[in-house]
Amino acid sequence: MAGERSEEDTVSEYLDQNPQLAQWVETFRGYCETNKQWCARREFILRNMEAFPTVEPGMSSSSSSSNNSLDRLLSLSMVWANHIFLGCSYPQAVMEKINEMGEGIVVPDAPVHKTLKELMARGKRSATSEGDADGCVKRAKCGGANEADCRPPGRTSAWSAGQKWGPPPQAPADHQPFFNRLYKAVAWKLVSAGGFGPNLDHFEILRSCVESCKQTLTCVFVPLKDITGLPEGRTQKEGHVCEIRCQTVYMGTGYGRDESAAKAMASKEALKVFQGRKVTVKICRRRYKGRDVEDLVLLDEQPRSQGFPPALSYPFQDEELGDGSS
């Protein structure tokens, strides 16, 4: 630990003695980078400036040929940071280059990433568990007498009173790898867009990132007047409410004067979740058509003082619940 602290002190002392250099390099910090990530990438940039002799403090990054060296240095620093903090892998030549450039940089408590082989082995185990869960669903829909055997552990007879079905217990773990990839895609998309802000096309950013991860968004629209249980004063308003899901996981709800505006607001709420250091899929309680149900929800690390908006859709309901709740 003493060595790590000494290295941090060296960089800080060097920048304190060179305030113009410190101010210049700070302009390259990404909007979504944590202090830990930025300190490491900043050290990478400073250590390797000598290898790019045309790079001089004060110059800005651009597409012009005179600044190609700076662009290359910044790109390599991002690639190195992606590898260290996000577990991204690149062609062998690129990996050898960034490992050489990053040699000697100590990252305290660097995250440990699983290999593709480990993830594939885990995926096989998850597929087996999911197959067992599907078997339970099929037996229940066929009117089998052993429906109670398919309930998640710990459920009592109160389950059937409030909810027939819900996400299987292993669902959060099954969905987490996808949303980890989506988190990376959204983070860097926002960096390239200049950071999260009100003037972005939030739906387009979310849609493009989801599609880059080989999935699609699901948008459900309901007229505001058709939603029961709203606070007094909102029940008469015109407009629509939009709910956004991906892979059955709830991401956000938004209200607008029409479907387009509602979708834009729901997308903005969904993107807010990606502003933290990570996203987590959890099973949470929500209201759906007057019932308490368990739903898959994407969360950040911020504490929640209020509940979730009522669900507009519920992908885990069985036929009996769907028919009886209309």
Predicted pLDDT of residue 3: 43
Per residue in 254-268, pLDDT tens?
Answer: 988 899 999 999 999
Same domain (yes/no): 83, 220: no
Q: Above 50 in pLDDT, residue 322?
A: no
| 121 assigned to some structural domain | no
Burial of 250 (0-12, 13-18, 19+ CB in 10 A): buried
pLDDT: is 70 or 207 the higher one?
207
| 27 assigned to some structural domain | yes
Same domain (yes/no): 170, 277: yes
Same domain (yes/no): 183, 81: no
Same domain (yes/no): 158, 306: yes
The domain that holds 308 is classified in CATH as 3.30.160.20
Q: Above 70 in pLDDT, residue 185?
A: yes
Same domain (yes/no): 208, 274: yes
Percent of the chain at pLDDT > 90 equals 24
Same domain (yes/no): 91, 168: no
Q: In the predicted model, what is the mean pLDDT of residues 262-286?
A: 91
Predicted pLDDT of residue 117: 56
Same domain (yes/no): 93, 173: no
Tokens 């568990």: give the residue. Answer: 129
Same domain (yes/no): 32, 173: no
Q: Above 80 in pLDDT, residue 171?
A: yes
| 156 assigned to some structural domain | yes
Same domain (yes/no): 258, 183: yes
Q: What is the mean pLDDT of the chain?
A: 75
Q: Above 90 in pLDDT, residue 28?
A: no
Overall number of domains in the chain: 2
pLDDT: is 292 or 160 the higher one?
292
Same domain (yes/no): 286, 158: yes
| 69 assigned to some structural domain | yes
Count of CB atoms situated within 10 Å of the CB of 44: 23
Same domain (yes/no): 228, 287: yes
| 117 assigned to some structural domain | no
Q: In the predicted model, what is the mean pLDDT of residues 69-80?
A: 87
Count helices and strands (H / E) in the chain: 11, 5
Q: Confidence band (pLDDT; 50, 70, 90) for 55?
A: confident
Same domain (yes/no): 42, 185: no
Per residue in 145-154, pLDDT tens?
Answer: 333 333 333 3
Of the candidates 60, 75, 101, which is a domain's last residue? 101
Burial of 60 (0-12, 13-18, 19+ CB in 10 A): exposed
| 290 assigned to some structural domain | yes
Give this prediction's pTM.
Answer: 0.50
Q: Which of 64-68, 104-108, 197-201, 256-260 has the highest mean pLDDT?
A: 256-260
Of the candidates 71, 101, 131, which is a domain's last residue? 101
Q: Above 60 in pLDDT, residue 43?
A: yes
Q: Confidence band (pLDDT; 50, 70, 90) for 116?
A: low
Predicted pLDDT of residue 318: 53
Q: Which of 200, 180, 178 is nearest to 190 (CA)?
A: 200
Q: Tell me the C-alpha distance between 199 and 249, whole Å.
A: 26
Per residue in 208-245, pLDDT tens?
Answer: 999 988 899 999 999 888 876 555 554 456 789 999 99
| 118 assigned to some structural domain | no
Domain around 50: 2-101
| 84 assigned to some structural domain | yes
pLDDT: is 296 or 319 the higher one?
296
